[in-house]
Amino acid sequence: MATSDRTFSTAERRADFPILSRQVRPGVPLIYLDSAATSQKPQVVIEAMDRYYRLSNANVHRGIHALAEEATAMYESGREKVKQFLNAASVKEVIFTRNTTEAINLVAYSWGRANIRPGDVIVYTAMEHHSNLVPWQMLAAEKGARIVVIPITDAGELDLSTLDDILAQSPRLVCVSHASNVLGTINPVTEIAARAHEAGALVLVDGAQSVPHMPVDVQTLGADFLAFSGHKMCGPTGIGVLWGRQSLLEEMPPFMGGGDMIRRVYLTDFKPNDLPYKFEAGTPAIAEAVGLGAAVDYLTSLGMRAVQAHEHEIVAYALERLEEVPGVKVYGPPADRRGGVAAFSLENVHPHDVAQVLDRDGIAIRAGHHCAMPLHDRYNLPATSRASFYLYNVPEEVDRLIDGLYKVKKLFG
């Protein structure tokens, strides 16, 4: 049994999350191992959103009444908190979107349509989530651009021996996930970005699985764009962030048209608003921005290094215990090079059945292709089971998972 975390009390942290004390069915407590899909929400986030709706709800950037000013201040305070969390140079670089997917699509539609020409090369890796594949496939099809893929090794890491040859093709853009949502691999984004920049390419980092789990500082990351979701980092669904370098964002045309993104509208023409509003058409997700701000405060109070250390301890223990189970194969790199994710297969049992039987004991894992079908094709797997961990998980939950897997084996043996 691994010892509990030394830097913060997990028992206290668990008490911050109301849902963790529920029973899935009478007498069956929840063991939530699906935080890579979405994290649970602490009381402070739920309360912040509740308070906003009870006391301050109004539309932002419009009215001059008290509530409108309060709502605007709260919404913009969420942005300021995200700016500090990322160590961004300015709030102008923090654009609220619906989620990671929309943030990546914003770059594909706005920057992509303005800059990609027939024959241009767009690079991404073989371990990307569909959200960092399909927007580029759509753009390439529209513009007649070419996609080049950075392959992965059998061990589940990027094969960077191919990078020089790929960069020699002068790509316009290199897209890479910071941490894989299946393999857990933490990619050397800073190194890739430096090499990509030397070759004249811009770099987009999918931070959906890194920003919630480790310190991410955009001043040292090396990326030009960083996309992530609020709901995977203790915040609500419906809000995500695109961080981009101001000089790039200034040059980019608006993505969606409507209210709030304009400076002046004429009957047949318009002038776009300044950053970041240029990219935020229509009434935004105000309560969600407030909730995301509260989530950032919560994570900051714990310290991202402590969160990362805790997850590392849990995933190392999970890998050790999973490997003890006959017939289990874990995919991806060793614990010291991965985030809090463990995808595995159990011999002769389909992942759906693994997940279904574990659910009997209140254990929530994910089964399927985890929105990474090309990655599963790479390993010739239709699907995998995935346990993913966050700051509230404890080693005892790993033990319950292992007990559950033995039950699965018995049922299908």
> Which residues carry out catalysis?
371
Residue 247 or 380: which CB sits closer to another protein? 380
Give 392's DSSP letter.
T
Give the distance, in angstroms, between the CA of residue 206 and the centroid of all CA atoms in the same chain: 7
d(CA 389, CA 341) in angstroms, rounded, equals: 6
Structure-token pair, residue 220: 């040292």
Q: CB neighbours of 334 closer than 8 A, spacing ≥ 6?
A: 319
How many other β-carbons are positioned within 10 Å of the β-carbon of residue 250? 12
Residue 189 or 363: which CB sits closer to another protein? 363
Specify the stretch interacting with another protein by CB under 8 A; choose among 75-83, 95-103, 148-156, 362-370. Answer: 362-370
Least Å distance, CB 382 to another protein, is 4
Specify the stretch interacting with another protein by CB under 8 A; choose among 48-56, 129-137, 201-209, 354-362. Answer: 354-362
Residue 327 or 395: which CB sits closer to another protein? 327
- Give kind and range of the element (H or E) at residue 69: helix 66-86
- Give kind and range of the element (H or E) at residue 283: none
Q: 13 exposed, middle or buried (CB, 10 Å; 0-12, 13-18, 19+)?
A: buried
d(CA 66, CA 60) in angstroms, rounded, equals: 11
312 binds another protein (CB under 8 A): no
Over the window 24 to 53, marking each residue x when it contacts another protein by CB under 8 A and - when it does not, the resulting string is -x----------------------------
Between residue 365 and residue 394, which ones bind another protein under the rule CB under 8 A?
Answer: 367-369, 373, 376, 382-383
Over the window 8 to 27, marking each residue x when it contacts another protein by CB under 8 A and - when it does not, the resulting string is -----------------x--
Least Å distance, CB 98 to another protein, is 22
129 binds another protein (CB under 8 A): no
d(CA 54, CA 63) in angstroms, rounded, equals: 18
Give the Cα-Cα-Cα angle 27, 32, 33 (nearest 5 degrees): 140
d(CA 94, CA 300) in angstroms, rounded, equals: 18
Answer for which of 50, 70, 353, 399 binds another protein (CB under 8 A) is 353
Specify the stretch interacting with another protein by CB under 8 A; choose among 39-47, 124-132, 330-338, 364-372. Answer: 364-372
162 binds another protein (CB under 8 A): no
The answer to whether the Cα torsion of 113, 115, 118, 123 is positive or negative is negative
Least Å distance, CB 367 to another protein, is 7
Q: Which of 40, 38, 34, 39 shows the shortest CA–CA distance to 387?
A: 34
- What value does the CA radius of gyration of the chain take, rounded to a whole number of Å? 22
346 binds another protein (CB under 8 A): no
Least Å distance, CB 392 to another protein, is 25
Least Å distance, CB 374 to another protein, is 11
Least Å distance, CB 350 to another protein, is 4
Longest dimension (CA), the chain: 71
Strands, E, within 280-362: which ranges?
328-331, 341-346
197 binds another protein (CB under 8 A): no
Answer for which of 9, 90, 169, 356 binds another protein (CB under 8 A) is 356
Specify the stretch interacting with another protein by CB under 8 A; choose among 138-146, 212-220, 244-252, 361-369. Answer: 361-369
Answer for which of 45, 289, 357, 387 binds another protein (CB under 8 A) is 357
Check: CB of residue 32 under 8 Å from CB of residue 40.
yes
Q: Report how many residues bind another protein under the rule CB under 8 A.
A: 17
- Residues forming the site for another protein (CB under 8 A): 25, 350-353, 356-357, 360, 367-369, 373, 376, 382-383, 411-412
